[in-house]
Amino acid sequence: MVSRVKRLLIGRPRKSTELDQEKLTKVKALAVLSSDALSSVAYGTEQILIVLIAAGFTAIWYSLPIALAVLGLLAILILSYRQTIFSYPQGGGAYIVAKDNLGVSTGLLAGGSLLVDYILTVAVSASAGTDAITSAFPNLHDHTVAIAVTVIIILTIINLRGVTESASFIAIPVYLFVLSIVVLIVSGLIKYAYSGGHAAVPEIGTAVSNVSLFLLLKAFSSGCSALTGVEAVSNAIPNFKAPAEKNAAKTLAMMGGILGFMFTGITLLAYWYGITPNIKETVVSQIAESTFGRGVLYYFIQAITAVILFLAANTAYSAFPLLSFMLAKDKYLPHAFMVRGDRLGFSNGIIFLGVASALLVAAFHGETDNLIPLYAVGVFIPFTLSQLGMMIRWKKLKPAGWKAKFAVNTVGMLTTLTITLIFVITKFSNVWVAFIFLPIVMLIFFRIHRHYQNTADELRIQLDKDKPCIKGSTIVIPVSAVTRAVLNSISYAKSLTDNVVAVYVGFDEEEIRKMEAKWEEWDPGVRLIVLRSRYRSVMRPLVKFIDTVEWKNAATDHITILIPQFITKHWWQAILHNQTSVFIRTYLMNHKDIVVATVPYHLNK
């Protein structure tokens, strides 16, 4: 039953050799990896204007130089990540680059930030998309959490089906979104050219008395939230069709171009139309309304924007499992993250991401706005570390033309560091939790690593010295009655050794007398030892008896507890039987150095 439902949801299992077919073309990769970055267009300009409007309407012209600065930063990031892609064709996420050049701890800091960040991405995007829906249908407002969690479940299932199927599913809305924003920008420009913009728009360069540097920095850092998601491509190089690094670099460039164009267009139109941020209507919605009026095109743009916000979460579904795989391979996360599922994705990473983000949504009742600054810090810390790592790398390797490359990464590092600091300073109340949480995550990484190393040390053998050694054997069979299961166990035990003893734990004298009489009558050729239990516990006297056996025989014999167990035909029948044998097995296996064997007897009815 369970396996049939799984087959229906996830699809048939795939052979390991099908892995190559799972690789992404550029067109599909752009869809899968850029939805997070591109969806930023839906709120990037708005974030800048929200900060500026605090200084009055005349301040909105500052959105143009700020947007230019953001574009400059985008260009720096793209150039810098391009360099990373060619330097690390196996996958050059911040974790790899930082670990490789700055040491393990720094790498883990970058990796930990990113992992937490991907969970935040899913939670924030799912909540944001749900807000778009509930704005349109206010009577759904009570079900925010349910809708967001449903979206997360759907994304999880899609990703469990596999990367390319997920890509096919996602490509259509992503390209529709890009197309509709391009149509919006072009139509807006044409309209502006013919009929002009808002009359009172402040001219560029107008002096505004109460604009401080702090305000401008805050606006700039807010605008930088449009740049989250840019790192996705460099993490995912192994997912590309060959030649992977070239395809990845081209995809990155395409993404940068599209993002830059859309961001510039929206910011320009917002300025020309004199649009101010409004709690009830997004900036993109206002531009669309000014351009098209509230017609079919307007509603289409709104709908596709909601969809792209949901799909932004999908970027994390590509990146999280890959990054957790890398950390698991380096023994900083449980091995379970290394297992490829039936459809060749890293199922455990996908499921973990889904569960963690759903819990986050539930914990915040779907109101995840306060998580956004945290989420931005979580991106810019690894950005900074990754660039710093690249700087060190150029300095060390000094390939031809390294100075130019070093310069690019230096500018990038300084910029992202500055932005990180601006975030921390301007939004400390939302961000402080990262300074508690990240050290805990790193501590967990190190604890896991230590455990794996200790385990490997303990289990390692010297191939030339440690050889099997032969010993005798003592078998103890706990019995509760004379049954066919006991008969089978005794047959088995006597086939292995003559050193077999049956143990019976009795609670009252009459029971014990009956059992002894029956055993004597049966006479299976094995001695029955009776233990009396005044506290009606089977475990305590049994363990005491085994202690004695160990003390007497452990030096010369392997000691085996052989448990006769009948297995019911249907699982629910098991509740009709006291599962003493399960307790005995679990307890002994965890506490004693003896072999625990079970002789199953399968009931047919």
Q: How far is the CB of 404 from a second copy (least distance, A)?
A: 40
Under a CB-based contact definition with an 8 Å cutoff, are residues 492 and 562 in contact? yes
Mark 322-341 with x for binding to a second copy (rule: CB under 8 A) and - for no binding.
------------xxx--xx-
Sign of CA dihedral 188, 189, 194, 199: positive
Question: Of the listed pieces 62-70, 172-180, 198-206, 493-501, which binds a second copy according to CB under 8 A?
Answer: 493-501
Cβ closest to a second copy, residue 202 vs residue 524: 524
| Residue 557 φ/ψ, nearest 5 degrees | -125, 150
* Helix H or strand E segment including 602: strand 595-602
578 binds a second copy (CB under 8 A): yes
Cβ closest to a second copy, residue 296 vs residue 463: 463
Q: Restricting to residues 17-46, which ones interact with a second copy according to CB under 8 A?
A: 17
Mark 419-458 with x for binding to a second copy (rule: CB under 8 A) and - for no binding.
-----------------------------x--xx-xx--x
Question: Of the listed pieces 34-42, 163-171, 305-313, 554-562, which binds a second copy according to CB under 8 A?
Answer: 554-562
* Helix H or strand E segment including 566: strand 557-567
Q: Up-side HSE of residue 251: CA atoms within 13 Å toward CB?
A: 31
| Residue 120 φ/ψ, nearest 5 degrees | -60, -40
Cβ closest to a second copy, residue 165 vs residue 557: 557
Question: Of the listed pieces 36-44, 187-195, 235-243, 577-585, which binds a second copy according to CB under 8 A?
Answer: 577-585
576 binds a second copy (CB under 8 A): yes
Question: Of the listed pieces 121-129, 196-204, 263-271, 488-496, which binds a second copy according to CB under 8 A?
Answer: 488-496
473 binds a second copy (CB under 8 A): yes
Question: Of the listed pieces 9-17, 47-55, 63-71, 264-272, which binds a second copy according to CB under 8 A?
Answer: 9-17
210 binds a second copy (CB under 8 A): no
Q: Restricting to residues 181-200, which ones interact with a second copy according to CB under 8 A?
A: none
586 binds a second copy (CB under 8 A): no
13 binds a second copy (CB under 8 A): yes
| Residue 462 φ/ψ, nearest 5 degrees | -90, 115
Mark 129-158 with x for binding to a second copy (rule: CB under 8 A) and - for no binding.
------------------------------
Tell me 491's DSSP state: H
The one among 135, 418, 497, 499 contacting a second copy by CB under 8 A: 497
Under a CB-based contact definition with an 8 Å cutoff, are residues 240 and 23 in contact? yes
Determine the distance from the C-alpha atom of residue 253 to the mean position of all C-alpha atoms in its chain, rounded to a whole number: 26
487 binds a second copy (CB under 8 A): yes
Q: How far is the CB of 585 from a second copy (least distance, A)?
A: 8
554 binds a second copy (CB under 8 A): no
Under a CB-based contact definition with an 8 Å cutoff, are residues 321 and 337 in contact? yes
Question: CA nearest 520: which of 508, 509, 512, 510?
Answer: 512
Tell me 228's DSSP state: T
| Residue 558 φ/ψ, nearest 5 degrees | -75, 135
Cβ closest to a second copy, residue 392 vs residue 448: 448
Q: How far is the CB of 28 from a second copy (least distance, A)?
A: 24
Tell me 427's DSSP state: T
Q: How far is the CB of 546 from a second copy (least distance, A)?
A: 13
3 state SS for 374-408 = HHHHHHHHHHHHHHHHHHHHHHHHCCCCHHHHHHH
Q: How far is the CB of 506 from a second copy (least distance, A)?
A: 11
Under a CB-based contact definition with an 8 Å cutoff, are residues 388 and 102 in contact? yes
Q: Restricting to residues 524-553, which ones interact with a second copy according to CB under 8 A?
A: 524-526, 534-537
Under a CB-based contact definition with an 8 Å cutoff, are residues 533 and 505 in contact? yes
Residue type, 511: E
Number of residues written out for the chain:
605
Q: How far apart are CA 220 and CA 66, in angstroms?
A: 6
Radius of gyration of the chain (CA): 33
Dihedral Cα 506, 510, 512, 518, nearest 10 deg: -140
Number of residues that bind a second copy (CB under 8 A): 83
Question: Of the listed pieces 24-32, 212-220, 412-420, 555-563, which binds a second copy according to CB under 8 A?
Answer: 555-563
